[in-house]
Amino acid sequence: MVIDFLRKKNKQKAVLWAIKENCSCFMSSITYFELMAGATSESKQEDVKKVCKWVPVLNLDKNIAGLAANIFRILKKENNLIEFRDIFIAATAIWHEFSLATFNDKHFERVDSLNLHHFE
């Protein structure tokens, strides 16, 4: 969602803009990490920081880490693991009782207790 928003010239046409108009939006600290790691210039890093002024970052804590560990064990037992980052993002949404909005639900749909909203 945020990458789509950052790439669009007309920000009001981004899905994130429409969601933000109707809902409170947050991102996990893992998402923030992914965005900053992919920001290849100072101006792109500043763009990410600007988005975070109206899409607050939810920090990873021991409660979320514990929930992520449970999700990991379940997925491993089912031989259905996803990337650690996605597990932490899912755990953040579940812990805070938020829905996860994404364009890529292929991995997230494996997490049973996650309320997922897919967009195209």
In this prediction the pTM is 0.86
Q: What is the pLDDT of residue 1?
A: 65
Tokens of 9: 């010239």
More reliable by pLDDT, 106 or 26: 26
- Report residue 89's pLDDT band, with 50, 70 and 90 as the boundaries: very high
Q: Annotate 10-29 with DSSP letters as a single string.
A: SGGGSHHHHHHHHS---EEH
Residue of 118, 94, 95 whose CA lies nearest to 105: 118
- Report residue 14's pLDDT band, with 50, 70 and 90 as the boundaries: low
- Report residue 71's pLDDT band, with 50, 70 and 90 as the boundaries: very high
Helices (H), the chain: 2-7, 15-22, 29-38, 42-54, 62-77, 84-95
- Count CB neighbours of 110 within 10 A: 18
| Whether residue 30 has pLDDT greater than 90 | yes
Mean pLDDT of all residues belonging to the chain: 88
What is the C-alpha separation between 70 and 87, in angstroms, rounded?
A: 10
Tokens of 77: 């037992």
Q: What percentage of the chain reaches a pLDDT higher than 70? A: 87
What is the C-alpha separation between 117 and 88, in angstroms, rounded?
A: 17
Identity of the amino acid at 83 = E
More reliable by pLDDT, 6 or 83: 83
